[in-house]
Copies of this chain bind each other. A is one copy, B any other.
Amino acid sequence: MIEVGPNSYGKSAIRLVKVVRGGTPHRVRDLTLGIALEGDFAASYRDGDNAAVIATDTMKNTAYALAGEHLTGSIEAFALVLGRHFLASGAEVERARVSIDEHAWRSIGAASDAFSRDGSETRTARVVVRHDGVEVRAGIDGLSVMKTARSAFAGFPRDRYTTLKETDDRIMATQVSASWLYGPLADPDLDFDGAYTRVRATFLEVFADHHSVSVQASIWIVGKAILERHPEVAEVSMSLPNLHHWTVDLSPFGIENDREVYISTTEPHGLIEATIRRSGD
Contacting residues of chain A (102-139) with chain B, CB-CB under 8 angstroms = 105, 108-109, 111-121
Bound together, the chains give a CA A142 to CA B116 distance in angstroms of 11
Given contacts A157-B53, A207-B108, A220-B46, contact A271 B4 (CB under 8 A): no
Shortest beta-carbon distance from A64 to chain B in Å: 5
Write out the residue numbers on chain B whose beta carbons fall within 8 Å of the beta carbon of A105.
146
Query: Which of A73-81, A160-168, A184-192 makes up part of the contact surface?
Result: A160-168
Write out the residue numbers on chain B whose beta carbons fall within 8 Å of the beta carbon of A209.
111, 114
Number of interface residues of A (CB under 8 A): 135
What string of 1s and 0s marks CB contacts (under 8 Å) between A142-176 and chain B?
11111111100111110111111000000100000
With beta carbons under 8 angstroms apart, the residue of B56, B64, B112, B164 that contacts A270 is B56
What string of 1s and 0s marks CB contacts (under 8 Å) between A201-236 and chain B?
000110111000111110110011001100000010
- Could you write out 18 A-B pairs with CB less than 8 Å apart? A1-B281, A13-B269, A19-B259, A41-B216, A45-B220, A48-B216, A53-B156, A56-B242, A90-B157, A108-B205, A113-B148, A114-B146, A116-B144, A117-B120, A117-B143, A117-B146, A163-B252, A266-B267
